[in-house]
């Protein structure tokens, strides 16, 4: 059965329902599945739990779902530049499960590897460890964190082949590879879609076994989350 779909609408057909848990790749606005998020917004599904490093910005990325009040809970590590994220959190409209960034990454990796829980020193003695099991190893205290999985993972890659093998470019290789492993179904959007054998075997970051559906996106905006410039010195 072919994994290739003509666009994001077709790739998500039959997968979406209100109340589902979705993992969304990307860091800030780098490496986010822009086209897939747009279809989620237009689908009208709500009461979503979204696992992602952050929630985009007010008018782009996952911020589009937040603006439509489609997200019930965020599992993330960073509020960032999204003022609506902050407003909904402070007003009690949005549930947030904050994680240290490395812990969030490891929770996703563990879920994808079939590891239900692990121990880490990160957060011991802080609010992060409240109501969580702790245990001593070699005289050091560790806090237990659980692995994360999702009904659907939506990711974005630079190149992919028709078998679902993926290559990510530079910083876009952030949460995307581990989320591909942790979703019951993974949908990947790519900038370039090639035939099997055209990607060097040693260059592949995510093997196709973790990707169920793939499509080639067009006109990626690739917006910069927060642009900082400096004046050039006058010679």
The enclosing domain of 134 has a CATH number of 3.40.1080.10
Question: Would you say residue 221 lies in a domain?
Answer: no
The pLDDT assigned to 217 comes to 93
- Domain span at residue 194 reads 8-216
The pLDDT assigned to 197 comes to 95
Checking if the pLDDT of 224 tops 80, the result is no
Judge whether 20 and 181 are in contact, CB under 8 Å: no
Question: Would you say residue 227 lies in a domain?
Answer: no
Section 179-189 average pLDDT: 98
Judge whether 58 and 84 are in contact, CB under 8 Å: yes
The pLDDT assigned to 183 comes to 98
The pLDDT assigned to 192 comes to 97
Residue 117: DSSP 8-state? E
Question: Would you say residue 125 lies in a domain?
Answer: yes
Number of structural domains (the chain) is 1
Q: Which long-range contacts (CB under 8 A, 24 or more apart) does 99-106 make?
A: 99/75, 99/128, 99/145, 100/128, 101/53, 101/77, 103/77, 103/128, 103/145, 104/53, 104/75, 104/76, 104/77, 105/175, 105/178, 106/145
Per-residue model confidence as pLDDT tens digits over 121-139 = 999 999 999 999 999 999 9
C-alpha–C-alpha distance, residues 42 and 150, integer Å: 21
Question: Would you say residue 15 lies in a domain?
Answer: yes
The pLDDT assigned to 120 comes to 98
3-class DSSP string for 135-195? EEECCEEEEEEECCCEEEEEEEEEEEECCCCEECCHHHCCCHHHHHHHEEEEEEEEEEEEC
The pLDDT assigned to 232 comes to 80
The pLDDT assigned to 228 comes to 81
C-alpha–C-alpha distance, residues 214 and 70, integer Å: 24
pTM attached to this predicted model: 0.92
The band of 227, judged by pLDDT with boundaries at 50, 70 and 90, is confident
């Amino acid at each position: 059965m072919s994994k290739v779909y003509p666009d994001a609408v077709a790739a998500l057909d039959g997968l979406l329902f209100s109340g589902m848990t979705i993992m969304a790749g990307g860091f800030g606005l780098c490496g986010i599945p822009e086209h897939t998020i747009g279809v989620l917004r237009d689908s009208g599904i709500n009461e979503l739990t979204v696992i992602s490093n952050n929630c985009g910005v007010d008018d782009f990325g996952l911020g589009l779902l937040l603006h439509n009040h489609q997200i019930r809970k965020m599992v993330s590590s960073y509020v960032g530049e999204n003022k609506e994220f902050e407003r909904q959190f402070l007003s009690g409209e949005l549930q947030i499960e904050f994680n240290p960034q490395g812990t969030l990454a490891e929770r996703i990796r563990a879920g994808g590897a079939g590891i239900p829980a692990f121990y880490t020193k990160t957060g011991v003695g802080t609010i992060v460890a409240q109501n969580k099991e702790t245990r001593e190893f070699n005289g050091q205290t560790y806090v237990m964190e659980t692995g994360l999985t999702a009904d659907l993972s939506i990711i974005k890659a630079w190149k992919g082949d028709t078998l679902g093998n993926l290559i990510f470019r530079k910083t876009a290789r952030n949460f995307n590879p581990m989320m591909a492993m942790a979703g019951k179904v993974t949908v990947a959007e790519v900038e370039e879609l090639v035939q099997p054998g055209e990607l060097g075997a040693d260059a592949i970051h995510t093997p196709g076994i973790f990707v169920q559906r793939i499509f080639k996106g067009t006109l990626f905006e690739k917006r910069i989350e927060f642009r900082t410039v400096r004046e050039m010195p006058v010679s």
